[in-house]
Amino acid sequence: MIVFILKTGQREALPYSDLRRLSFNPSEGITLTYIECIITITGRRLDQGFQKLASQRVVFIAEADHATGKLVEDGDPVITGLVIAEKQVMPRFSSQFEDK
């Protein structure tokens, strides 16, 4: 499992087995697409973190608060944003072929 730790202290643990897609765009960050949610990670120097996620070597991901983010040197990785967004569930349409 990966434990996601928000700067508020809230934690969410999700299994690697539910991870459906992992993508990295240097200008936008890392996106993890799970069955039930999408997690967006923003920050600096995230390329190494992406590689570790892809090889399932990450145990936790912690968002730095504003003060801590400023203390991290420019060449070091830091997560400045972590958003966990629940996916919208599509309503189930009834079919004319269903048994009633």
Smallest CA-to-CA distance from 37 within 54, 13, 9, 56 is with 13
The reported pTM is 0.83
Partners of residue 38 on adjacent β-strands = 33, 85
pLDDT per residue over 24-71, tens digit each?
999 999 999 999 999 999 999 999 999 999 999 999 999 998 888 878
Q: How far apart are CA 99 and CA 49, in angstroms?
A: 50
At 88, phi and psi to the nearest 5?
-80, 130
Sequence-ordered alpha helix ranges (H) in the chain: 47-54, 66-71
Per-residue pLDDT at 14 exceeds 70: yes
Q: Which H or E run includes 2?
A: strand 2-5
